[in-house]
Amino acid sequence: MSSNQHNISSAAYGPLWRLLRRNLTSEILHPSRVRSYGPARKWVLDILIQRLKSDKSGVGPTAPDVHAVRVVDHFQYAMFCLLCLMCFGERLEEKVIERVEEVMRDVLLNFGRLSVLALFPRLSRFVFPNRWAKLYELKENRDRVLIPLIRGRGGNREGEGTDEIIAYVDTLVGLTIPEDGGRKLDEEEIVSLCSEFLNAGTDTTSTALQWIMANLVKHQEVQDKVFDEIQRVVGDGEEVREEDLQRMTYLKAVVLEGLRRHPPGHFVLPHAVAEEVEVEGFVVPKGASVNFLVAEMGWDRTVWENPMEFKPERFLEEGFDFDITGSREIKMMPFGAGRRICPGLGLALLHLEYFVANLVREFKWTAREGDVVDLSEKQEFTIVMKHPLWAHLTPRKT
């Protein structure tokens, strides 16, 4: 994630940022609200399973009954669907979702190239006119697809108390800013916050999901244990539901191990130092930009035994009360730590546990014939698999 995508919320850590963060965490990411999105999760799960089943791209002539699927695009689509629903409150048509996804992806893919414009706005207009043109084009495309969705919603909150979903957009349209004369957010600000919501939660979660599933393909014994736990807890139920996940400690350990071994971001967002401070003899001046080696922390040999191994059991050893928020101690911090910690942490963990459990319940995941799962990394918006996962998906229920 990058600071520029958070142009409102991270522009200044001040009253507006606090207001927006409180709105997001209490209105949308609060556990009770997240629970109300349960039917949406099931809807998206069904879409995902359907897409995985009907993807014939890997079926060879010798194995027509077994699917080998390149899973990453399906994961991304599923996470995006779910966040679109939370953002705009509607089960949008597939075509609309694809269009929104396309423009948002374009923004992400160009991000690295365009971030220099924010550093030297005046000079860069002469040096990089084409990049400025691209920036305006991206913004126009984004506005063209997001503004109708925002206006269509109308920002009413009448759904509260009924079955209708409260969407992030509704909460933003209803927001007033006391410190700024009680004004409302303008449309541009709302577009920007919706983009942040969609971007921050899609790639991070789908990347983590891919890494975890890759490890379950590579380590069949871990996948078997996840499946045994599902059978024990859910039996023949229709779906592993949010409430079932609370009783699945091995699954939780698998997700944590995935985030430790393959954090989607190797750094947090850049942070500016508010006051000059001395840390272990080093003076860090006011205004300096600092960051944290997130991945290195999770791989630290002085903290973790055989850190490069995928071994979920390590999280079970002490009775499973691992603190991923870093409020007691910091052994890993895939979501950051402190007041800027990822506000989507709870939602992300829920989505990862929910999809891993249901995907393992639906299919046995094995490597594509002749393939070895390659865990090399590549830097994109997040740290992705250099060679995306292809897996044979054998339905467990016949």
**Interacting residue ranges for ligand HEM, rule: CB under 6 A:** 1, 6, 9-10, 83, 196-197, 200-201, 204-205, 208, 264-265, 268-269, 334-336, 340-344, 347-348
Whose Cβ is closer to ligand HEM: residue 79's or residue 135's?
Answer: 79
The least CB distance from residue 4 to ligand HEM, in Å, is 11
Whole-number Å distance between alpha carbons of 331 and 304: 8
Whose Cβ is closer to ligand HEM: residue 341's or residue 367's?
Answer: 341
* Residue count (the chain): 398
CA angle 57–59–65, rounded 5-degree value? 135
Whose Cβ is closer to ligand HEM: residue 117's or residue 352's?
Answer: 352
3-state secondary structure of 222: helix
The least CB distance from residue 183 to ligand HEM, in Å, is 21
What are residue 261's phi and psi, to 5 degrees? -75, -35
The least CB distance from residue 66 to ligand HEM, in Å, is 30
The least CB distance from residue 128 to ligand HEM, in Å, is 26
Asked if residue 385 lies in contact with residue 210, where contact means CB atoms within 8 angstroms, the answer is: yes
Whose Cβ is closer to ligand HEM: residue 132's or residue 292's?
Answer: 292
Whose Cβ is closer to ligand HEM: residue 260's or residue 368's?
Answer: 260
Segment 276-283 long-range contacts (CB within 8 Å, at least 24 positions apart): none
The least CB distance from residue 130 to ligand HEM, in Å, is 30
Position of minimal CB gap to ligand HEM: 344
CA 372 to chain centre: 26
The least CB distance from residue 31 to ligand HEM, in Å, is 14
Instruction: Please name the residue that has the structure tokens 């991945």.
Output: 295
Flag whether 81 is marked binding. Answer: no
Whole-number Å distance between alpha carbons of 372 and 389: 10
Whose Cβ is closer to ligand HEM: residue 6's or residue 153's?
Answer: 6
Asked if residue 336 lies in contact with residue 325, where contact means CB atoms within 8 angstroms, the answer is: no
3-state secondary structure of 77: helix
Which residues are 378's β-sheet partners? 384
Beta strand 277-279 with 282-284 is: antiparallel
The CB-side HSE value for 75 (13 A sphere, CA atoms) comes to: 30
Known binding-site residue numbers: 342
The binding site for heme consists of: 342
